[in-house]
Amino acid sequence: MHFTLYTSAFCEPCAQTRAVLAEAHRLIPRATFVELDVAAHGEEAEANVVRNTPTVIITRDDGTEVYRAHGVPTLDQVLVAAAKAL
């Protein structure tokens, strides 16, 4: 499974989301984690219909999206989504 976090500079909720995902990654070490700044990765953000930061997208290994959060998700939300991705 893959966790993708779309962020922007000076985004306090992005830092909070980063902490939630770091804990999820600690609990699920086989998951991959990627953080993309929307300014540097605008085309990818647009292709994934990212309109707000932070945005978290969790996908299965085949690329199927199973979860999307705009704003700061809870650890419980991320872990439930991760279970769906398995």
Asked whether residue 86 carries a pLDDT value surpassing 90, the answer given is no
pLDDT in tens, 30-74: 999 999 999 999 999 999 999 999 999 999 999 999 999 999 999
- The domain 2-85 having CATH identifier 3.40.30.10: the answer here is yes
Full-model pTM: 0.94
Q: How far, in Å, CA of 52 to CA of 22, rounded?
A: 20
Q: What is the DSSP string of 40-86?
A: TSHHHHHHTT--SSSEEEEE-TTS-EEEEEES---HHHHHHHHHHH-
